[in-house]
Each structure stands twice: as structure tokens, then as C-alpha cells.
Structure 1
Amino acid sequence: MAGGPSGTSEGVSNASLVWAIVMSAFAAFGGILFGYDTGTIGGVIAMQDWLNVFGQFDPTGQLGKDTNGMYLTTSNKSLVVSILSAGTFFGALLAFPMGDMVGRKWGIVCSCVIFSLGVGLQLDTKWATFVVGRVIAGIGVGLVSCLVPMYQSECSPKNIRGLIVGLYQLAITIGALLAAIVLNSTKDEQSHAAWRTPIAVQFAWAFILGGGMLLLPESPRYLLHKGRVDKARRALARLTNRPADSLEVEADGTYADCFKNTKLRNGLRTWTGIMLQGWQQLTGINFIFYYGTTFFQSAGIQNPFIITIIADVVNTCMTIVGINLIDRVGRRRLLLIGATGMMVCEYIVAIVGVTAGKTTTGDGVNQTAQRVLIAFVCFYIAFFATSWGPVAWVVTGEIFPLNIRAKGHVALRRVQLALELCDRPNGVATAGLKVKVFFIWGSTCLGCLIFTYFFIPETKGLSLEQIDLLYQESSIINSNKYRKKMIAESETHAHHDKVTASHDESLEDHPANVEKV
């Protein structure tokens, strides 16, 4: 078996493969930071003691009926929930310079420090300090959410890259579930500990991620990217089986290169990543997890908090199923199946809600309609968790060529976070539509289906370098056929040169060897 960029002829040891998996899988822990905050803030702002500190008193008795007259204005509620996304937007802006200047590894470590500072500020009892803390924590989350999938894609073996990168989405769902558990255990406290404890737990997540990354090596592709230019180009040329002066091994790029219609089709790739993350937000999943309790209450469902817990459990369990399907079923097929399933479920929820959901029984509510709503909301979450949840991270982590990978991630995250920033405040308004809002989400899922068919190629089992070739030589619709041809013929050249499998050792198959370069 041929050696890697290090030039050795000993091949890939099992230890190297295992280490690559450990490196990329552990980085997924970064999703805990994002998921836990997502699940925490909605519960924190509903706690009696938090409202006593930051809320207002309504002497008329019309507001805050369950919190002794204390309430949070709609504008402040939108601000405190969505301001994290403002921070993550700026964090994404900083991800490229930090990731390229200090590296993927140290960029993640620095992100954890920034995040911890923001968490600390949220323990204060002043409104301005709390909000600033949300922004700073958001910057840390934005950095992590860009750098972690990048690090994973560059380190993970190609045959399980989908599963490894999908672990980031699983970590997000686990974070949300942990938040629900912690909130449930502290919600009845009659002191600042009720909300300070769930917030302070985030120090632990940052410490585990940052401390663990200190023990892991840097991304091998980043080492090539920042090494001596001539040596890095020769190494990457050997990696891709292409001339050292070819476009594919160019070691640097600009933001403008992300949108140019080059031979590598950078523009198509960048817009695909941007639109994919945008469509993921438009599936309506944030509405469920940020405003699900409000929606379930408005639908007349009893014990909405328990239903939210059930939704978190479904999300976590089905994400585990999803990440195991990515490298078996394929990216494109899973996205098509997921979009179709979500669309059907959401239309059913909407139709049942505006018809049978309006009828009443002797108990005052239509129990059958409630059960149908809950069931199909859970089915909808299951379809999302097995497809658009993890697969979106995988696709956006692997479609960019090395020279614009960091900048491409930043570009798509800017748009995604801008959409989140708009979506969260609107959630307060769309919650007022009650069950009718699912007509909107069903229609956007139809858009997800159409977008996937025309813009998402099948990349299952391909190295990052073969994905470059796929974009050059195949159409999107015929990508699966061309993918199978490349794998069967071990094709790595743009001019259809065929080499044996022993010469198709890509960088991700032996990342440990790269550090010897």
C-alpha cells in the first residue's frame, strides 16, 4: 500500500485510522455548546426568579398570570432569545481569520474561552450585562460552529466522513436534551440558582471541548496549507495526483474566489452551501424547539413541557439513526426523503389542526386531534433528525475545495445565522398563527425538495479531492452515476486517468502521516 504525503511506504496503520476518528469525533462535542444554549434560554426566561430580576410587573393582572404578575415584554423576549444569533453572526465573520491564522485546533480552543466569558457575564443580575453576555457567548458559538465541521471534514476518513461530521448535529440534540433535564431539576428553586445553575453548567461543556482539543493534533490539511508553499503544493499535488501547478492544489484563495465561476465551480459550491443552510432553517425546526411550548399551549395540548421533552428525545434518538444512514443511504437521497417526509407531516398537522382540532368533546378539547398533532409533529422531527439535521453539516463541510474552505464556511454561516436572527423574533409572531403556521413550513419543505434535486450532488464514499473532480466533470442530477464510476475506476484525475486503489490514498485516510511532512 502506497504511503501518504510523508513519502513513507508503510501504508496506513490501524492506529492512524483510529486516531483520525477520535480527532474528528471528539470535535463534535462543540455542538453541545450550541444545542444546550438553544434548549436553555427558553426555559430560563420563564422562571419566576429570572422574571423577578429582569421582568416587569403588570398591575392589571392580565400578564404574567402564572408568574405572580411578572412578565417579559415581547421585544425583550425576542431580544434575549435572538441576540445570541447576532453574536454567532460576528463569530462566523471571525472564523476565517482565526481558523487560518492560529489553526482549526487553536481556533476552537480560543472559541471556548470567548464562550466562557459570555457565560460568566450571563450570571450577573443587570439586564445590559446579561444581554452583552449573550452576544459574547454567541461569538464563541459562531466560531465553534464554523471551525468544528471544518476540522472534522479535514480529519475524518472518507468512508465514514458522513457519520463523523453528523456527530456535530447529534451533539446539538444531546445539548438540547441535557438543557431540558437541567431546567426541569432547577425550575422550582426560589433563588437565583434556578437560572444561574443551568447557565453555569455551560462552563463544563466549554472546558471539556477546549481541554480536549489541547490534546489533539492540528488538522493535517491546515498543516499543508500553512507550511512552506513549495513543499505544501508538492504534498497536495501528490495527494490529488495532479501537477503541482494545477488549480486544484492552489493553497490560497480570496472571498471573491468563493463566488467565481471557475473550473472548480466555486460559485456553485458556495451558493449551494449558503442555500442548503438557509433551507435547513426554513424547515421550521427552530419554531418547534424555541416556541414549541407556546405552540402546544395554543393548540390546547395539556402538559406542553412534557411534550417538549418528548420532542427532544425523538430528535436525539433519530439523529443517532440518521448519522448511521448518511454513509449508507447517501447525502442526496436522505435529503430528498427527509424533505418529502417533513412536507407531508407538516401539511397533515396543519389540516388536522384547522379542521378536527377546532372541534370539542365533553372534556373541552378533541383528544384524538391532539394525539394526531403530537404524533405527526414527532414524525416531522424524526424526518428532520435523520436527514436535514445532520446531512446539511456534512455536505457543507465537504463541498468546498481546500483553498476556499475556511472562507466558504464563513460565507454560508453568515447567511444561515442571518436567517436564524430573523426567524427567532418572528417565531413570537408565527406562534400567533397557531397550527396554521405548519402550512408555511410544509411549503418551505417543498422548496427543500426542489432545491435538493437540482443542487445537491451525491458525494457518498468520495474523498474531498474526488468531490472536486465530481463538480468539474458531472452534472448535479447525474452525480450519483458519475460517483459510482469514480469509485469503480479509482479515478482521481480530471483527464480521467485511472490508477490503482493503492495510489488512491487520500489525505483523510492517513492524517497522522501528514504531520511528518
Structure 2
Amino acid sequence: MDTKLSAEATAKRDDSSNAALHEAIQLEHNLTFWQALKLYPAAIGWSAFVSMGVIMLAFDPQLLGNLYATPQFQGDFGYEYEGNYIISAPWQTGLSMGNPVGQVVGALLAGYPMEMFGRKRTFGVCVALTGALIFIQFFARSLQVLLVGELIGGLVLGCYAVIAPAYSSEVCPMAIRGILTSYVNLCFVIGQLLGNGVCAGTSQLNDHWAYSIPFALQWFWCLIILPGLFWVPESPWWLVRKGRLEDAENVLRRLASGKVNIAATLAVIVETDRLEQELEMGSTYWDCFRGANLRRTEISVGVYCTQVLSGIYLINYGTYFFQLAGLPTDQAFDMGIGFLAVGFLGTVISWFLIVRFGRRTIFNSGLFCLVVMQLIIGILDCIPGRPSGVIWAESSLMLIWNFFYDLSIGPVCFVIISEASATRVRSKSIAVATAAQAVLGIAMTVAIPYMINPDQADMQGKLGFFFGGLAALCFVWAYFRVPETKGRTYEELDILFERKVPTRQFKDYAIEGANSPAGCEHHAVPYA
């Protein structure tokens, strides 16, 4: 008798669990963008808060790129060349190497503490270390000391590129997942824009404060973030993987409004984790390259590396590039600020496209536009004598190029790497993608100063041929390999990749027999 009652009780619990699971998945598919904004205000706020680390990551290399064009920095750290002071290409390469080298090492190292201690604690330690290491940059009075500060600081800054997209993808529902993960790109733009603006404001100072003030302003973000860390909620996905279901439920209540059925949401997370365990998706770096995860890692690495190969590292040298193109120093700084301002606008506009169109569509069409514009810049630079009109045309096209970059492959990259990776290896998959693009970034950091410096190749606008050709190769790869992930739950994505669904069938593929309404009718479900 007791056995019979126990079996009936178990069956009722299973039925209740399945009902909650089905309800949550239906809600995920039927939830609109505006409904999600109302139901998950805390998730949006904390996602944006953690993403502020990326502002620091972008601010640092942008400072260096602008300081190369700052007269006081050139005079204190450079040497005389044809009547002007410049920072030599080898030293530009060495100093600029700190950020990409840091992303390679820091990103790979970040994966371990993120899984062992959680996203919150890892983020807090990184911010504290960043605040301490800024002292080296601030008090540097030689290129050697500054190089040490950039290299060590870069190790910590590289962690933010992994923490931000991983955290954002794990605290929000599917309806706003694309916006919050793409917000990481806006943080990159904000950091770069602030770096340009600060250097433009201090570039005319005639003492060390011309470069010391920009370095000191990095402490501002540490002072904002550190006090708020006491209230940052941990990732509910990480808590579930650690078996802390009660803590995960409490975190979900903090992230959502009272109208959300938290038990149903938790059931989805538990079920997705169970499915990935059944599919033998481990949680080590090696697991990123096993089975279905190999394809998912390739996609993440590919879209991230496309950013570098299409020419994004030119942004770090934007002001210097415009100066070498023939613009006066003040106009070069103005153009550098405008360069990033249109990027800011493009990222904001991209949010409307992400809600309306698919990831694949935006990524591929935007990349094609970048290829065309880079090639046009290269062709213009071949005009004999390079008249002033050509200089302004090239500079204007670079502005338009950056607008389209931040309208498409810039923000959508962070959406794709968050959605393409399995939840159990998400932090490590993003780390691998970050490290891969940073390795290419190291190559670009070495090459670009030699390609643009007047005492080296002095390629100027002919760089358009170089990056346009690389971007064209990326476009061919993306067309055949980047699938559509919009409108899919993490469980559905696990199934699609496990079944090896062809790239161009992802969008319309019906999943039969899964805990998903993808293959059945959708019915509106009350919020609870």
C-alpha cells in the first residue's frame, strides 16, 4: 500500500514538474520584447552592471591609440623624426600588446574561477585587481614601466570579455537575450568613445597630466562597481549546476517580477542541464572540442575572429590613422570621436534589428557591406596625388564602415557566442573564442603600426584592400557555417546541434519529441 501511494505521489510530482516545464517553455516562446522589459527589470539592470567591466577593457587600449597622437606623450616617450616626435613602431607594438595578450591568457584563466567560484566572485576579484594595477600606469614615466603596467593589467582586463556575455546570457529570458548580450558591444564602444573624448580634452596640456589624467580616470569605474558587488545576484544556471536549487530559486525571484512563475523557470534550467548531461556535454576545455560542441565552438570562434579580420583593431589607432591620413591633430581627434559616436548609434539601432530579424541575416548582410566599403577605401587611395577630397572621402567612409560594423557583426557576435555555446561549457567556450580572436589581435597589433607608420610601410587607405580581402573570406565562411539561433531556447539549441541540423535549416527546423512547443501549437500562457 505504501509503495503504491509512493508511486502515485512520484507520478503526481513528475506530472506537476512536466506541466511547469511546458508552461515555462511556452512562455519563453510567447513572451514579447516589451513584456520581457516589464517582467525582468532587475535582470536587465544587473546584466548592464556586470557589463561595465567591458568599458574598462575597451578604455585602456583606446587610451594608448590616442596617446600616440598626443604631442606631450610623443615628446616625453618618443623620438624625433623629420621634425616631429613619434612613438616608434616597435614600442607601439609592445605597448598595444598588453590588451590582446591579456585577453588570450586572462580569458582562458577566467573559465576556471567562473566555474569554481561563480560569475559574481570572479568579477569582483577582477575589478579589485584592476584598481590596484592602474597605479603602475598612472606613475609610469618610461616606456618600460608603462609596458609592464599594460601587460599585467591586460591579464585581468581580458577576463571581462568572458564574464560579461556569459552572465548576461544566463540572467535573462529569450526575448531580451539578444539585446543584453549585444549590449556588451555597446560597452566596448562606450569605453572607446570615452577614451577618445578624454584624450581629446587633455591632448593640449603641456605636462604629464596630458596622459596621467586619462590613466587615472580608469579608477572611476572601479569606484562605481566595487560597492555594487555586494548586491549582484549569482547566475542561476551556475547555481543549478552546483546543485544549489534553493539558492537558484531565490536568485530568480530577485531577477524577475512577482508575475513570473519562478518554479517553471527553474524547471527549464534543471531540464536543460539534465539534457546536456545525458548528451555527455562536459564542462572542461576539452569538452568544447568534443562531439556537437566542436561545431558550436567553431561558430563562436569564427564570428569573434571575423571582428578582427574585418579591421576592428584599426579603431585603436583611429585618431592616429586620421592624423597620418593628412588631417590636422585637432580635426583628427574630432574625427576619432565621431568615428566612435556613429558606432554608438549603430549599436543602439542594432537592438531594433536584433528583435526583428535573425542573427544570421544581420551578421552576413552587415559583413558584406563592410567588405564593399573597405575595397572602396583601398581604390580611392590609389588616386594619384591623394588630393584633399580623397582624404576626407576615405575618412568619411571609415565613419560609415564603423556604423555598419556596430550595426551588425559587432553586437551580433556577442549574441551568437552566447547562444551557440552549450550552457555547461559556456564560460569556457566564450573564453576559447575570446582567446582565439585575441591571438589574431596580437598579430594585428604587431602588423598595424608597421603598416600605417610613416617611417614604415605608410599604407594609409590601402589597408582597405588588406582588410577587405580578409573580410571577404570571412563572409564566405559565415554564409555556410553561421546558423540562425533567434527564437530558440537553450534546450532546443542543444537538440539542433546534437542532431547536426544543416546551417540553413536551423530557422525552420521543427523539433519533434522535445520538451518544446517548436513542433506543436503555441498557446498564450498566463504569467502565473
Alignment partner of 1:280 out of 280, 295, 307: 307
- Show structure 1 runs of 5+ residues with no match: 511-517
Q: 2:277 maps to what in 1?
A: 247
CA distance in 2, matches of 1:243, 1:28: 25
Alignment partner of 1:210 out of 215, 223, 226: 226
Q: 2:503 maps to what in 1?
A: 476
How far 1:112 moved relative to its partner? 0.9
How far 1:46 moved relative to its partner? 3.7
Is 1:408 the counterpart of 2:429 in the alignment? yes
User: Which aligned pairs between 1:272-311 and structure 2 lie closer than 5 A?
Assistant: 272-287=299-314, 289-302=315-328, 303-311=331-339
SS in 2 for 1:477: helix
Q: 1:37 maps to what in 2?
A: 60
CA distance in 1, matches of 2:439, 2:210: 31
CA distance in 2, matches of 1:88, 1:392: 17
How far 1:404 moved relative to its partner? 1.4
User: Which aligned pairs between 1:174-185 and structure 2 lie closer than 5 A?
Assistant: 174-185=190-201
Contact 1:346 1:442 in 2 (8 A): yes
Q: 2:42 maps to what in 1?
A: 19
CA distance in 2, matches of 1:245, 1:465: 7
Counterpart amino acid of 2:61? Answer: T
How far 1:270 moved relative to its partner? 0.8
SS in 1 for 2:91: helix
Is 1:313 the counterpart of 2:341 in the alignment? yes
Q: 2:106 maps to what in 1?
A: 91
Is 1:50 the counterpart of 2:73 in the alignment? yes
Q: 1:387 maps to what in 2?
A: 408
How far 1:460 moved relative to its partner? 1.1
Q: For the structure 1 residues 42 and 241, does the alpha-carbon distance in structure 2 shift closer, same or farther, using more than 3 Å as the test?
A: closer
Alignment partner of 1:268 out of 295, 319, 325: 295
Alignment partner of 2:242 out of 208, 226, 245: 226
Is 1:456 the counterpart of 2:456 in the alignment? no
Contact 2:373 2:397 in 1 (8 A): yes
SS in 2 for 1:122: helix
Q: For the structure 1 residues 469 and 190, does the alpha-carbon distance in structure 2 shift closer, same or farther, using more than 3 Å as the test?
A: same
How far 1:51 moved relative to its partner? 4.1
Q: 1:109 maps to what in 2?
A: 124
How far 1:298 moved relative to its partner? 4.0
Q: For the structure 1 residues 18 and 94, does the alpha-carbon distance in structure 2 shift closer, same or farther, using more than 3 Å as the test?
A: same
Deviations 1:4-28 (A, max 9, x none): 79x9xx9999875222222223222
Q: For the structure 1 residues 204 and 313, does the alpha-carbon distance in structure 2 shift closer, same or farther, using more than 3 Å as the test?
A: same
Q: For the structure 1 residues 183 and 298, does the alpha-carbon distance in structure 2 shift closer, same or farther, using more than 3 Å as the test?
A: closer
How far 1:84 moved relative to its partner? 2.3
CA distance in 1, matches of 2:88, 2:321: 18
Counterpart amino acid of 2:290? Answer: K
Contact 1:492 1:498 in 2 (8 A): no
Contact 1:117 1:133 in 2 (8 A): no
How far 1:409 moved relative to its partner? 1.6
CA distance in 1, matches of 2:276, 2:320: 56
TM, length-normalised to structure 2:
0.82
Contact 1:225 1:251 in 2 (8 A): no
Q: 1:433 maps to what in 2?
A: 459
Q: 1:373 maps to what in 2?
A: 394
SS in 1 for 2:215: helix
Contact 1:4 1:239 in 2 (8 A): no
Q: 1:122 maps to what in 2?
A: 137
Contact 1:27 1:213 in 2 (8 A): no
TM, length-normalised to structure 1:
0.84
Counterpart amino acid of 1:461? Answer: G
Q: 1:149 maps to what in 2?
A: 165
How far 1:334 moved relative to its partner? 0.4
Q: 1:325 maps to what in 2?
A: 353
CA distance in 1, matches of 2:275, 2:429: 22
User: Which aligned pairs between 1:483-498 and structure 2 lie closer than 5 A?
Assistant: 485=510, 492-493=514-515, 498=520
Counterpart amino acid of 1:205? Answer: W
Q: 1:170 maps to what in 2?
A: 186
CA distance in 2, matches of 1:240, 1:249: 14
CA distance in 1, matches of 2:134, 2:72: 18
Counterpart amino acid of 1:335? Answer: F
How far 1:209 moved relative to its partner? 3.0
How far 1:397 moved relative to its partner? 1.3
Q: For the structure 1 residues 393 and 298, does the alpha-carbon distance in structure 2 shift closer, same or farther, using more than 3 Å as the test?
A: same
CA distance in 1, matches of 2:153, 2:84: 30
How far 1:162 moved relative to its partner? 0.8
CA distance in 2, matches of 1:25, 1:128: 36
CA distance in 2, matches of 1:120, 1:143: 19
Superposition RMSD on alpha carbons, in Å?
A: 3.3
CA distance in 1, matches of 2:319, 2:404: 20
Deviations 1:460-479 (A, max 9, x none): 12222222122234211111
Q: 1:72 maps to what in 2?
A: 87
CA distance in 2, matches of 1:351, 1:203: 43
Q: For the structure 1 residues 301 and 257, does the alpha-carbon distance in structure 2 shift closer, same or farther, using more than 3 Å as the test?
A: same
- Stretch of structure 1 that moved more, 384-393 or 436-445: 436-445
Counterpart amino acid of 2:114? Answer: G
Counterpart amino acid of 1:202? Answer: Q
Deviations 1:199-253 (A, max 9, x none): 1111111232333333220011011112269999x99775475794763576842
Contact 2:239 2:245 in 1 (8 A): no
Q: 2:6 maps to what in 1?
A: none
Q: For the structure 1 residues 494 and 316, does the alpha-carbon distance in structure 2 shift closer, same or farther, using more than 3 Å as the test?
A: closer
CA distance in 2, matches of 1:481, 1:251: 25
